[in-house]
Structure 1
Amino acid sequence: MSWDFERSPKIAFVGTGAQGASIGADFALAGLDVTFIEQWPEHVDAMNERGITVHLPMRSINANVRAKHLCQVAELRERFDIIFLVVKAYDTRWTCQLVEPVLASDGLVVGVQNGMTQHAIASVVGVERTVGAVFDMASNMFVPGVTNRQNDHDTSWFALGALDPANRARVERIAELLRLSGRVEVSDDIGSAKWMKLVVNAAQLVPSAILNLPFAEAIKMPGMATVMRTAGYEAMRAAQADGASIVPILGMAPTTTNDPERYVDEIFDEVLKTFMMPDTLTTVLQDWRKRRRAEVLDINGYVVETLKRAEQAAPINERIVEIARSIERGSLAAQASNSSLFAS
Structure 2
Amino acid sequence: MRIGVIGAGAVGGTLAALLASAGHEVEVTARGAQLDAIRAGGLRLDGGWGEHLARLTANATLAETPELVVLATKAQDAATALAANATRIGSTPILVVQNGLGGLRVAHEEAPDSPLLGGLALFAASYLEPGHVTVTAALPVIVGAGPGADRAQLESLAAVLAEAVPIEVTDDITGAQWTKLLINHVNALPAITGLSVQEVVADRGLRRIMTASMRETVRIARRIGVRFGRVQGVSGSLLGLVGALPLVLGQQFPRLLARRMGAVPNPGSTLQSIRRGQLTEIDYLNGAVVAAAAEHGLTAPVNAAIVALVHEVERAGTFLSPTEVASRIIL
Aligned residue runs from structure 1 range 186-335, under 5 A: 186-201=169-184, 203-250=185-232, 252=233, 259=240, 261=242, 268=254, 271-275=257-261, 277-330=263-316, 333-335=319-321
Alignment of 1:110 onto 2:101: no
1:67-101 per-residue CA deviation (whole Å, 9 max, x = no partner) reads 1123xx4xx2x322211011101111111112222
Gaps of 5+ in 2: 245-249
Q: Cα–Cα, structure 1 residues 288 and 102, in superposed 2: closer, same or farther, change >3 Å? A: same
- CA separation in 1, counterparts of 2:252 and 2:177? 16
Tell me if the contact between 1:139 and 1:149 (Cα under 8 Å) persists in the aligned partners: yes
Residue type of the alignment partner of 1:324:
V
Alignment of 1:171 onto 2:154: yes
Superposition deviation, residue 268 in structure 1: 4.5
Superposition deviation, residue 119 in structure 1: 0.8
Tell me if the contact between 2:28 and 2:59 (Cα under 8 Å) persists in the aligned partners: yes
- CA separation in 2, counterparts of 1:297 and 1:48? 32
Q: Cα–Cα, structure 1 residues 257 and 294, in superposed 2: closer, same or farther, change >3 Å? A: closer
Tell me if the contact between 1:217 and 1:278 (Cα under 8 Å) persists in the aligned partners: no
3-state DSSP of counterpart to 1:54: strand
3-state DSSP of counterpart to 1:150: strand
Residue type of the alignment partner of 2:133:
T
- CA separation in 1, counterparts of 2:5 and 2:49? 25
Superposition deviation, residue 178 in structure 1: 2.4
Residue type of the alignment partner of 2:269:
T
Residue in 2 that maps onto 1:95: 81
Tell me if the contact between 2:196 and 2:265 (Cα under 8 Å) persists in the aligned partners: yes
Superposition deviation, residue 145 in structure 1: 0.9
Superposition deviation, residue 187 in structure 1: 1.4
Residue of 56, 65, 71 corresponding to 1:85: 71
- CA separation in 1, counterparts of 2:202 and 2:303? 19
TM norm structure 2: 0.89
Gaps of 5+ in 1: 1-7
Q: Cα–Cα, structure 1 residues 260 and 93, in superposed 2: closer, same or farther, change >3 Å? A: farther
1:86-132 per-residue CA deviation (whole Å, 9 max, x = no partner) reads 11011111111122221142x21111110111111111112752211
TM norm structure 1: 0.86
Superposition deviation, residue 307 in structure 1: 0.9
Q: Cα–Cα, structure 1 residues 166 and 30, in superposed 2: closer, same or farther, change >3 Å? A: closer
3-state DSSP of counterpart to 2:279: coil
Residue type of the alignment partner of 1:283:
S
Calculate the aligned-residue CA RMSD, in Å.
2.5
Tell me if the contact between 1:307 and 1:314 (Cα under 8 Å) persists in the aligned partners: yes
Q: Matched residues, percent identical? A: 22
3-state DSSP of counterpart to 2:117: strand
